Amino acid sequence: MSNEFLSVYDFLTIAEIPMFSLSCDYTLALGIFLDDFYESDSTDKALALRDEPTIGILDKVQYCKLAAAAHKLANDNNLPVPGWALKDKYTMPYPVYAFDSNDTDFHELLKDITPNEYKIRNLFLGSGVLKRV
């Protein structure tokens, strides 16, 4: 992929998502990152998670989602969890639910099925949060 925001590693790292999202949508940037991550080897996976994203471009919820993603992807791939992802600033002060739902029954379901790496950040987004179709 040829883009001025890509690292020297030939794949999008989690740290580059904020800058990359300036040229496209955050969701698309995250999807490109996940595609690159899932197709890479374990050394590249560790590099892809290592560095903290650039602060100030995205909103707080998006940064918390990136920290949760880094934490979950590290755990799922037997990699060390990057220290930056464990910082308190990547926890929402209030619950955030998938689809900005106000349905309390749906909230309870999300609380049951959301991975712990998201729950500890007050993010309740469901079990398929990092799935690619």
| Predicted structure pTM score | 0.90
Mean pLDDT, rounded, for 115-131: 97
How many H-runs (helices) and E-runs (strands) does the chain carry? Answer: 6, 2
C-alpha R_g of the chain: 14
Mean pLDDT, all residues of the chain: 91
pLDDT (0 to 100) of residue 66: 98
- Report CA-CA distances (Å) from 97 to 20, 102, 129: 25, 8, 12
Mean pLDDT, rounded, for 80-96: 98
